[in-house]
A and B are shown apart, each in its own frame.
Chain A
């Protein structure tokens, strides 16, 4: 099965700075999704980018997708302490009915 992998595994920044996380995957996808998880809680969907899209924005979030490199990045601008969480990418394969694959996540710490 394909593997989503985030990079870096952990990131520590100051409030107000931008945070960039990367995700790589191995096979063709229908779309790629980013989720956030606060410690031990359920995941919350952030943004979905389809394979025919290259960039998408939602508030302070910017996601890019490069299908030729099989990679995506999530940029959080002007970070806040409340952005402290783990961030996961998940890939939906382009073959109907195959399973989703989540990466191991990036642990983001935003220091006040």
Chain B
């Protein structure tokens, strides 16, 4: 089944404790992206990747890191999480940048205490 998977789905952590949210797609998509969703603000793009080893900042990249070492995986790293990073996070992928629909993962609900 074609899908985007994220892990974990739920995470409660404390300020400053490094964490990684994994994202994987099995559709051989070139484009992958991370978004955060906050009430009243819609989805905001954190980072995106046009292809392997190519990443770029979205609208809200501060406090996040990403890597794209292989086509299927695009992990989101929070080196030192803070309470303002409490949010619902979505990973998405599409065949090519901009020309196709994005497929979204189920989301990761992160709480930073």
Contact = CB atoms under 8 A, between A and B. Distances in A.
A42 B106 contact: yes
B107 A97 contact: no
Contacts, number: 69
Interface string A79-112: 0000000001010110011011111110000000
Interface string A4-46: 1000000000000000000000000011010100001111110
A35 B48 CA distance: 19
B48 A42 contact: no
Contact of B104 (A31, A43, A101, A104): A43
A101 B59 contact: yes
A44 to B, nearest CB: 7
B90 interface: yes
A52 interface: no
Contacts of A33: 101-102
Contacts of A43: 43, 90, 92, 102, 104
A33 B90 CA distance: 17
Interface residues of A, number: 26
Nearest to A102: B43
A42 B41 CA distance: 16
A105 B43 CA distance: 9
A31 B90 contact: no
Nearest to A30: B98
A101 B98 CA distance: 11
Nearest to A95: B98
A48 interface: yes
Contact of B107 (A30, A41, A96, A105): A41
Contacts of A92: 97-99
19 contacts: A4-B42, A33-B102, A35-B102, A35-B104, A40-B88, A41-B106, A48-B101, A90-B43, A90-B102, A92-B99, A97-B50, A97-B97, A99-B48, A99-B58, A100-B98, A102-B35, A104-B40, A104-B42, A105-B42
> Sorted from nearest, which 10 A-B pairs have the closest CB atoms?
A45-B101, A104-B42, A42-B104, A102-B43, A92-B98, A43-B104, A99-B58, A99-B45, A102-B42, A42-B106
